[in-house]
């Protein structure tokens, strides 16, 4: 190979390298700035193919997607000076590429550290304005919205990033007060349980009293109806007996006498001393037997 061909090949290779370094691509998920000897000359390069001067211009690319800052659990004081352990996170992305590069040199770790300090300060300020109940549940959504707005205004000016959202993952009490709070909650629940039991016993007594009253009313009504039915039955029986008596008084008297004897001598040990002329024994005497006064012992008549 001649010297001329070698020189042509070297020049062609040099031109290829220069052309290769003259073009670059910015992806859709990236934000980029162009530098000239370390100074920003183009602040926000759009996605696509771009051209630069090799070895004069340089390009710094940053992640343009939504990023997450997971902060460490920090201790805050409420309005009543009660300590809370708060665990939170923030969603952010690069908004001003030039300002972001100037403030952080394009290093995400530096941006996270500064954002974390700002987030802690905003949380401390908002929680310090609220009571324990408001911070935990009463105004939790409002707290996060105000922290997001405050933090976004601060970091847009300082870091060139936009805070999309701030969320509190957990709010806990410090370990040293967990036991006392648990004991207080337990005593409160026991007091409520006693109140509910007392109300239950009161309701139960009322239900029992009402049931007893209804029982007495039902029994009295049943007894009244039973007495009415029994009286009607006795009246009908008396009418039947009276009708039978008028039909044959002699037979009715004989039947009543037998019933009286059966009831009088219901036991073998019964002894009855009577005058033989009494009407009680008139059916045991013969018609032609003379009447004499004797003592009669009747031991049993079944």
With beta carbons less than 8 A apart as the criterion, state whether 227 and 219 touch: no
Q: Is residue 77 located within the same domain as residue 129?
A: yes
Structural domain contains residue 83: yes
What per-residue confidence (pLDDT) applies to 184? Answer: 78
Give 297's pLDDT tier (boundaries 50, 70, 90): very low
Structural domain contains residue 207: no
pLDDT exceeds cutoff 70 at 293:
no
What per-residue confidence (pLDDT) applies to 67? Answer: 92
What per-residue confidence (pLDDT) applies to 175? Answer: 75
Structural domains in the chain (count) = 3
Cβ-Cβ contacts under 8 Å for 22 (sequence gap 6 or more): 51, 52, 53, 54
DSSP at 138: I
3-state secondary structure of 30: strand
Q: What is the largest CA-CA distance in the chain?
A: 191
Structural domain contains residue 229: no
CATH number (domain holding residue 73)? 3.30.479.30
Instruction: Give pLDDT tens digits for 178-195.
Output: 677 677 788 888 999 999
Q: What residues make up the domain containing 85?
A: 67-173
Give 16's pLDDT tier (boundaries 50, 70, 90): low
Q: What is the pTM of this model?
A: 0.53
Structural domain contains residue 185: no
Q: Is residue 166 located within the same domain as residue 72?
A: yes
Give 285's pLDDT tier (boundaries 50, 70, 90): low
Q: Is residue 77 located within the same domain as residue 156?
A: yes
Residues written for the chain: 302
Structural domain contains residue 223: no
With beta carbons less than 8 A apart as the criterion, state whether 171 and 163 touch: no
Structural domain contains residue 284: yes
What per-residue confidence (pLDDT) applies to 296? Answer: 38
Q: Is residue 131 located within the same domain as residue 50?
A: no
Q: Is residue 165 located within the same domain as residue 72?
A: yes
Instruction: Give pLDDT tens digits for 123-144.
Output: 999 888 888 888 887 678 888 8
- Tokens linked to 224: 């009244």
């Amino acid at each position: 190979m001649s010297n001329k061909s070698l020189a042509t090949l070297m020049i062609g290779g040099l031109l290829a390298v220069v052309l290769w370094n003259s073009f670059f691509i910015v992806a859709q998920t990236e934000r980029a700035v162009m530098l000239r000897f370390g100074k920003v000359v183009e602040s926000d390069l759009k996605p696509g193919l771009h051209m630069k001067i090799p070895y004069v211009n340089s390009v710094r690319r940053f992640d343009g997607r939504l990023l997450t800052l997971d902060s460490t659990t920090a201790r805050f004081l409420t309005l009543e000076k009660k300590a809370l352990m708060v665990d939170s996170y923030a969603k952010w992305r690069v908004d001003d590429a030039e300002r972001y590069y100037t403030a952080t040199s394009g290093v995400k770790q530096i941006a996270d550290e500064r954002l974390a300090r700002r987030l802690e300060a905003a949380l401390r300020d908002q929680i310090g304005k609220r009571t324990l109940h408001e911070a935990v549940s009463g105004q939790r959504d409002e707290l996060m919205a105000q922290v997001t707005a405050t933090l976004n205004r601060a970091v847009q000016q300082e870091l060139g990033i936009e805070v999309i959202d701030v969320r509190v993952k957990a709010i806990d009490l410090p370990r040293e007060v967990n036991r006392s709070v648990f004991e207080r909650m337990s005593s409160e629940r026991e007091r409520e349980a006693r109140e509910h039991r007392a109300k239950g016993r009161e309701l139960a007594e009322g239900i029992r009293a009402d049931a007893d009253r209804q029982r007495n009313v039902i029994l009295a009504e049943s007894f009244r109806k039973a007495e009415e039915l029994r009286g009607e039955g006795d009246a009908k029986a008396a009418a039947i007996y009276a009708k039978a008596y008028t039909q044959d008084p002699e037979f009715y008297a004989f039947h009543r006498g037998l019933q009286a004897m059966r009831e009088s001598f219901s036991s073998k040990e019964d002894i009855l001393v009577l005058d033989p002329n009494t009407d009680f024994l008139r059916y045991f005497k013969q018609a032609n037997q003379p009447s004499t006064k004797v003592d009669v012992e009747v031991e049993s008549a079944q």
